[in-house]
Every structure is written in structure tokens, then in C-alpha cells.
Structure 1
Amino acid sequence: MAGTAHEYLPDPEAVTKLGYESYHRVADGVTAVDLAAEACRVALKNAGLGIADVDLIVLGHSDIPQYLGWDPSAAVARALDAQGTPTVLFTQSCAAWSLALDHAAGAMALSPDTGTVLVAMVNVVSETHTNRMDFNGTIASDGAAAAVLRRGHPRLRRLSSASFTNPEFADLFRIDIGGSAHPVPPPGRTHRDLDPMIAVYEHFGADPERFGRFIGEVVGRFTDVVDHALARAGRDRSELTRLVYFNDSQRAIHGAADAIGIHVARTNAELARRLGHMGAADQLVSLHLHAEAGELAPGDLVALAGVASPGMHWFCTLLKA
């Protein structure tokens, strides 16, 4: 972190205030498809399966894609040498993983022929479009995670999920240049000269009271979706063993833990310090590392939850370890 922060910020010390110690940046030439496909290969190997055993591939992609008018989920399937396996793509920013798990569960419920689903999440920051250290209060990382979901598997079972979207905030944190509305930057400027935070300031009209209400809603909606998911599973907060939030700043993760009454030691706060924010991959990466470290006992109730923008979306998925 210390050796590269000057590439992104005039004041490198600013990143330390967020609580991050390191982040991940792919080597030049490594793409999101490369990362996602490699994560899938590892997941399949760990499950003792081949790509021919997979009935559905679901990809979540939370940053700028390599091309327009293109489906990265099909490109990942090709990299895996899948033969006719259906693929689905989710691009709903940091919430993509939750929607992907819901889709996988729905596919299994609707089709008896769908018994094995390969879910992959990937985030590779487009350095052309955004500044990974000066975007939305996090330090953005590149990374991918994949999981094999199997009908009837005894561990890490999905119990329920809940989500909420406030469309009032649909334009917050959007990248204004590059889409069909404004395909290229104004003469003499680049994509990174146009700060997405401007839309946030404009939305609230520099009114501190309106912004304060917004922050209150961020926390309130978060607790609402956690409670809603718990209610759907017939559980309550007292039964929660662990919260896996997205890899936000330390202050934000501590705030989320306090809001639902769980000790911060039972969150991914320490993982977030060294991982950085990997977009839609955060929850699956952290879940894997918690499991690998022996921090999840059979029967533990785990809430994977967070807030995602643009959107703005609040989401929670409950798992039984």
C-alpha cells in the first residue's frame, strides 16, 4: 500500500485513515475473465468435479467490462471449455453475489435437472475509468472467487435472503463518461478527471441535514434486511455467529457490527484490512478464508450482508455453516 498510494493520491497518508494495509492489483494483461476462470478451476478441483458436471454457470461482474455488447459469463464458460452449459451474468455492482446465489437457488427449485451450479464473482478495476483509491470511501482491489453449489450439500447451506433498493439514489457513484449518454470525455480531459463523487454532492445539494438522513438510511436499511432475512429463516439476531460484510473501511465495518449487535471480532474486519474491496467477490472471498482458518463451526449462522451502489441496494443472505 505505502509503495503505490502515491500513484493514486496526492496525500498517500489518506488511505491509512480507512484502515487498509494492502490491496490486490492484477498484473498487466490479466483480465477479469482470466481471474474468474482460474477461480472456477480451483473451485471445481476442490469439489472433485469437472466442467461437464456443472448444470449452470452464474457470473457476477462488478466493474467495467472488457468490451461493450459482450457477455463475460459466456467468455468464462469458453475459457473453462464448457460445452453448451447455460450461463447467466449479474452486473449489479457489489450486490451481484447475493443475486447470483438467489438465482442458483431458484434454478435448483424450478428444475430438477439443475443440481450443480458454478457461481463465480470477479472484480478488476478499470484504471482508465476510476481511481481505485479515490472513488467511494474504499480501496478497490482486483480479485475473484468461485463456489460450487450442490443440491442437498450438508455444509454452508443457504437459508434465506432479503434485499431492498432505494431508486432515489440510482445516480450516486455512477461513471458519467463511457456509456451511450456521453461516450467519450470532453476534449482535453480523461475519464478519471470526472469525479463520480460530484453526483453525490449535487444530489444532496450541499445540505448536511439531507446527507445526515442518507447516512441514517444506509444503517437503518442494513439492519432491516438482516432482520428480514433472519425472520424468513425463523431466526433472530441473538443466533448470529458471524457477519461477513463487504470489505469496507474499518469504521464502516465496526458500525455495521454495532448496528446488529455482533462483536467486530466476529466480522471480516481484519480480512478487509489486507484484502481491499473486491466488489462482488468480497463476501465469497472472506467466507472462504474464514472457513479455511477454521472459524466456522458446523451449525454456525452466518450473515453475508452489505450495501451496494450504484443502486442503491441493501442485501443479506443467511447461511448455515
Structure 2
Amino acid sequence: MRWDNVYVAGLGAHLPERVETADEAVAAGRYDAEEARANGIRAVRVAGPDEPAPVMAAAAGRQAVARAGLPADRYGMVLHACVGHQGQDFWTPVNYVQREAVGGTGLTVEVRQGSNGGLAAVELAASHLAARGTPQAALVTTGDAFRMPYFDRWGSDSQSVYGDGAGAMVLSNRGGFARLRSTASCSDSSLEPIYRGTTGWTDGPFHDGGPVDLRSRKSDYLLREEGGYDRVIQRMTKNASQVLREALDDADAKLPDARFFVHSNIAETIVEFSFHSVLGVDPDTTVYDWGRDLGHMGAGDQLIGINHVAETRGPRPGDLLVTMGVGVGFMWTVAVLEFLETPRW
């Protein structure tokens, strides 16, 4: 989708101060040393007792709202994307974020699209704003904190180490420091069983008292028939390439035109194969080396990474940033941003 009147007006992030390294996790017997070397994630941030996911998201949201400098009554939409537990059951964390970050009576939506949640929310917000003739803004936040005993950040999943953190973006249909030139998304529900697994349904979360085991779900499904793993990789590669090509075409851009490329903080082996080899992403355009000290922050890697680019990488007018997400389900989203000015903050 090509966008002509959607802009990025503010960005924010909240990263906990506490750091836990991969070496510490290996020494404690929580992380396999060989897996640590292959994955390449050096450390994660760990949220404190007073930093549940929505609290971090609200903090990131307040920063983005302050940087945008738009009136509170202009926010017609607040979206909150997340992966893990949000600090309370049978509750709507997006309304907490709205109350704490911006206020108002705008539409609130919680987005649960796995690791692609942040970018899926951006595309939804862009659609909402483009349809409005009056000046409006939308706040998108992400927030995740992965805590034992429900989730083991070092052991619940393979090829991913989960860090805590939150990101935020303010979109506006009346201007900002960057323009959203395009977005593209693709869902492939034939891959949905991968993270559901083959063990059947449960009656509630934390049903067996042990940490979530994503490793077994994936292996049970992928290894149930010969060649299953290869077919899944081929399908994922095809979908990722298609979405990237569509977003770049709608932005009238080529991949080498992008000064920045932001992707998830996942295993180095996946990054090298999927992004560098298959898609042709130049490693020097990414923020992956920085992300290796943060880990995979649920729905927020992309928004937090874009904030990092704005704060530390000196974007100039005309610079393009491409960001890609993929979430269980499976769904891919790519967004192309053009910096119009270096953010004042």
C-alpha cells in the first residue's frame, strides 16, 4: 500500500536497566553453550518487579507523545501490540497505555500478531489515519516482559532469546519528521500449526505449571513428515521476498536505496541466511549488532530499532529506512519510511 498522507511524528522506547548476559545464563545452566555461540545474542534486558509490560509500554508511549508535540485530543486511536503476559488476566492493557500515555477517548485496539505485532499495528494505524479528513494522530506501543516460571527467556524457544522492553510510534496525517511511504503485509495460515504444535488444546494458560515450551511444538510439527522443514523454509522465504518486493515497489524504491534496515533481534544464523543471503540486505545498514545486546523483545524489535536509528544513527533528509517483521501465524509486514528531517530531539 502506498501512503501519501501518513507521517511519523514521534518515537519512544523503554529498556530496563538490568542486564543479563548469555555467559551468565550458560554458567547458571539455563542456556546451552553451543546454542549460545550459534545464536550470537550476547545479552538481554530484564524488567524489574515494577516494570510489567504495559508500564514499560506507557513509558515509551509518553516519550513518543512528548516528542510529537501534538494535542491530546488529536489522538483518535491507540494500539498496543504484545506477545507475552501483560501483568493481569482478563484485562485490556491498551486502555492502561491510553490512560497513562496520552488520555482521550480514541479507539483502542490490542494487537496479538506475535513478533510482527508492532508493524501490523503501524499498518492498521496508517489505514485509520488515511481515511480521516480531519487532523488526527495514532499512538502505537509495544511491550513485553518474559518472566519465569511462565516463560524461560533462555530456554522456551530455539534460535530466539527473549529480552524485555517497549517501543512506541506516533503517526499523524498532518506531518512529522518522516513519511510512511509504503507498507505491505502477507499472511500464510498454512503455517499456523507450527507454533500450536500437535499436543492438543489446553484449558488455560500455565496449565502444567512449567514454562512455555515452544521448542517441542515446533519440532513435533516440522519433523512429523520427511521434508517438512525444508518446505516450510521455502514457503517462508517466498512470502518474505514477496512482501519486501511489494513494499519497495509501492515506495518507488530499491533495496540498495535504503540507508537503514531494521529487523528482529533473532539468531545470527537466521539473520545471515534469511536477510543477508536470501533477501540481499547489507549488514552495515542494520542495527543487529546493537540488538545482540537486547535480544528479541516480542512485538517491539522494529519500533525500538527505528527509535535507535533516529537517536543515534544521524538520519538525514531523504534517507530511507526499511523495516521487516514476521510473526507466528504466520504474517509478514514491511514498512518503508523516508526521513524528511533529522528529529529535533
Map residues 186-225 of structure 1 onto 2, 5 A cutoff: 189-192=208-211, 195-207=213-225, 209-225=227-243
Among residues 101, 104, 107, which one is paired with 1:86 in the alignment? 107
Whether contact under 8 Å (1:107, 1:114) holds in the other structure is no
Residue aligned with 2:335, SS? strand
Following superposition, the deviation at residue 280 of structure 1 comes to 1.2
Residue aligned with 2:193, SS? coil
- 2 CA distance for matches of 1:154 and 1:82? 21
The normalised TM-score by structure 1 is: 0.88
Following superposition, the deviation at residue 227 of structure 1 comes to 0.3
Letter in 2 for 1:233: A
- 1 CA distance for matches of 2:36 and 2:49? 23
Among residues 148, 164, 172, which one is paired with 2:194 in the alignment? 172
Instruction: Give the unaligned 5+ runs of structure 2.
Output: 1-20, 340-345
Deviation larger for 75-84 or 19-28: 75-84
Q: Deviations over 1:140-163 (max 9, x none)?
A: 011001122122325321111112
Count the aligned residue pairs: 316
Following superposition, the deviation at residue 85 of structure 1 comes to 3.0
Residue aligned with 2:300, SS? helix
Whether contact under 8 Å (2:80, 2:109) holds in the other structure is yes
- 2 CA distance for matches of 1:215 and 1:99? 22
Whichever structure has more strand as a proportion of its residues is 2
Find the counterpart in structure 2 of residue 60 from structure 1: 81
Find the counterpart in structure 2 of residue 155 from structure 1: 177
Query: Pairwise CA RMSD of aligned residues?
Result: 2.5
Deviation larger for 137-146 or 65-74: 65-74
Taking only the aligned residue pairs, the percentage that are identical comes to 22
- 2 CA distance for matches of 1:109 and 1:56? 12
The 1:209–1:31 alpha-carbon spacing in structure 2 relative to 1, beyond 3 Å, is same
- 2 CA distance for matches of 1:180 and 1:66? 23
Among residues 164, 171, 181, which one is paired with 2:202 in the alignment? 181
Q: Deviations over 1:171-223 (max 9, x none)?
A: 3224999x98332667xx5232x622222222233445221221222223211
Map residues 1-321 of structure 1 onto 2, 5 A cutoff: 1=21, 2-7=23-28, 9=30, 11-12=32-33, 14-49=35-70, 51-80=72-101, 82-113=103-134, 115-134=136-155, 135-174=157-196, 181-183=202-204, 189-192=208-211, 195-207=213-225, 209-255=227-273, 256-309=275-328, 311-321=329-339
Following superposition, the deviation at residue 50 of structure 1 comes to 5.7
